[in-house]
């Protein structure tokens, strides 16, 4: 009787698995991205045959829910435990509501601290059976001397101290446990590492009687990894170190160190990768020079030069050797990236709001002048140039900042491909390279020469020249009134002269307006 009941449960759960995954694929097919054009919808329909295998791919992820059917013969209790784990992972056939929150854990090693000496920590939502781990580094600017750090402590204490951190956090975007919002990483072990070191994740110096603050960003990452090894990371197949803004730069600075840390402890089977979102900053010249009084007005290069001295910041050894005496260069993606060994995917808005802010372009109040408009366009061109040799990237021509943890991250497209789809393509290309390398006996953590698969592009960058020329860009709001703006309203606010631009392009102004309305 018990055997017959087990088979009934198994059939029910497997049926729910098929229904659930089919519904997820259908929902993704029907939803369509925000502001999606008819052309993009047609491309989406043409790509359905590429999306359909998602059911097979997810079902084939054997490391997530291994089922041993021989258990029916020898150990019914063990078999039922496996069925329960499958049911809980599917949650439609679970008797209890799943807890999707990530829970706070302060580090056991109390010597690794936030700026004020309070214990650093991390939030985690474990996914039993999954061998994929996603570690996310929070962003939040930085401070670079006693004055700016004191001001930061008064106004943004949560970025310098753990004393007021909540006990739980809910993941969004790539940290979401919902397959509808996060189709390829929803079942990974999710780890959110709060930013409380104010050093772009680079410091390794404790707080002492002589120092004002601790700067231990790089040590926090290393200590979190050590603790996670006792929670299942030791059996992982993939570790994706992700981060946004300062966290994105932190990924570039630390991804090789994490790979080396695991390898040195004997965990060579863990594939370490990086995902850097909105952390590819330029050390360019400001639109208008200002004195370096705070992190907002200070030129990027000067702020980092001061910061690296104040934090005693560490940079990867390969980059340090390439820039001896000028280690500040290693905080800028296009200089650091060529020295990184691990595979890294770059996500970067071409018109990043944080970059424009430190360049003293403030898009509030009066319309932008012609000189500012040219500066903004040149910024996009410069970013394109620095990203030219990056094989795996997603760069929409939008005015925004941060993407991978936004709830709308599935809606943004570049050349008809969404970011989750692009990351899935990247994952497949890495698996393909790993298979080829291992078959030749030369597996290593070296960056593979990623080759795009058919219908699976890796190098995605917009070619249109002005902010929000991509129709899937996030909604624009007037920063004074909060009202939504059309693309044309926004461009006029930016000082965009339709007549003049049309004349420069040799086309009728009405045709240009039509192209803008269609997002071309």
Cross-strand bridge partners of residue 345: 275
Torsional sign, CA 144, 149, 152, 158? positive
Catalytic hit among 184, 257, 401, 424:
401
> Is 440 among the residues known to form the active site?
no
Give residue for tokens 């944080």.
354
Write the CA distances from 395 to 102, 244, 280, 356, 457, integer angstroms.
29, 14, 11, 16, 13
Residues 6+ apart with CB under 8 A from 32: 41, 44
Catalytic hit among 130, 245, 278, 418:
245
Give residue for tokens 């690794």.
112
Backbone angles phi, psi at 456, to 5 degrees: -135, 75
Among 226, 123, 120, 107, CA closest to 166: 123
Among 250, 143, 232, CA closest to 193: 250
Cross-strand bridge partners of residue 193: 137
Torsion of CA 224, 226, 229, 230, to 10 degrees: -90
Cβ-based neighbour number of residue 400 at 10 Å: 20
Residues 6+ apart with CB under 8 A from 42: none
> Is 127 among the residues known to form the active site?
no
Q: Which two tokens stand for residue 114?
A: 């936030």
Catalytic hit among 256, 277, 352, 427:
352
> Is 439 among the residues known to form the active site?
no
Q: Are strands 413-414 and 393-395 parallel, antiparallel or unpaired?
A: unpaired
Rounded distance between C-alpha atoms, residue 348 and residue 345, angstroms: 10
Q: Are strands 102-106 and 121-125 parallel, antiparallel or unpaired?
A: antiparallel
Q: What amino acid positions are annotated as catalytic residues?
A: 245, 352, 401
């Amino acid at each position: 009787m018990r055997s017959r009941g087990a088979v009934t449960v198994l059939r029910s759960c497997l049926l729910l698995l098929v229904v659930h995954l089919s519904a997820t694929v259908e929902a993704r097919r029907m939803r369509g991205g925000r502001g999606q054009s008819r052309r993009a919808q047609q491309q989406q329909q043409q790509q359905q045959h590429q999306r359909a295998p998602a059911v097979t791919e997810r079902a084939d992820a054997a490391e997530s829910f291994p089922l041993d059917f021989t258990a029916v013969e020898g150990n019914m209790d063990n078999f039922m435990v496996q069925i329960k784990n499958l049911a809980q992972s599917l949650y439609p056939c679970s008797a209890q509501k799943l807890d999707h929150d990530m829970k706070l854990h302060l580090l056991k090693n109390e010597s690794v601290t936030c700026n004020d000496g309070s214990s650093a920590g991390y939030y985690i939502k474990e996914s039993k059976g999954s061998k994929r781990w996603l570690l996310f580094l929070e962003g939040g600017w930085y401070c670079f001397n006693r004055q700016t750090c004191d001001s930061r402590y008064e106004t943004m204490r949560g970025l310098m101290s753990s004393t007021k951190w909540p006990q739980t956090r809910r993941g969004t975007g790539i940290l979401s446990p919902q397959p509808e919002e996060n189709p390829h990483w929803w079942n990974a072990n999710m780890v959110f590492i709060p930013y409380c070191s104010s050093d772009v994740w680079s410091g390794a110096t404790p707080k002492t009687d002589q120092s004002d603050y601790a700067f231990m960003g790089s040590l926090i990452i290393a200590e979190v990894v050590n603790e996670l090894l006792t929670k299942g990371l030791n059996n992982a197949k993939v570790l994706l170190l992700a981060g946004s803004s300062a966290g994105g730069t932190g990924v570039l600075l630390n991804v090789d160190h994490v790979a080396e840390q695991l390898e040195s402890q004997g965990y060579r089977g863990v594939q370490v990768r990086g995902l850097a979102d909105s952390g590819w900053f330029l050390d360019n010249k400001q639109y208008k020079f200002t004195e370096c009084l705070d992190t907002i007005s200070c030129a990027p290069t000067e702020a980092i030069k001061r910061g690296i001295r104040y934090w005693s910041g560490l940079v990867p050894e390969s980059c340090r050797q390439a820039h001896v005496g000028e280690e500040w260069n290693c905080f800028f993606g296009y200089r650091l990236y060529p020295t990184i060994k691990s595979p890294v995917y770059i996500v970067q808005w071409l018109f990043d709001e944080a970059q424009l802010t430190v360049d003293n372009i403030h898009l509030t109040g009066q319309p932008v002048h012609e000189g500012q408009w040219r500066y903004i366009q040149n910024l996009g061109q410069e970013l394109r140039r620095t990203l030219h040799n990056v094989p795996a990237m997603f760069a929409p021509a939008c005015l925004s900042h941060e993407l991978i943890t936004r709830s709308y991250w599935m809606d943004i497209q570049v050349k008809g491909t969404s970011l989750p789809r692009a990351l899935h393509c990247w994952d497949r290309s890495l698996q393909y390279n790993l298979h080829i390398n291992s078959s030749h006996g030369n597996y290593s953590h070296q960056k593979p020469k990623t080759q795009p698969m058919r219908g699976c592009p890796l190098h995605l960058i917009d070619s249109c020249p002005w902010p929000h020329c991509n129709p899937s860009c996030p909604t624009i709001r007037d920063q004074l009134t909060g009202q939504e703006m059309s693309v044309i309203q926004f461009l006029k606010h930016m000082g965009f002269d339709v007549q003049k631009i049309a004349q420069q392009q040799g086309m009728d102004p009405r045709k240009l307006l039509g192209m803008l309305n269609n997002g071309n």
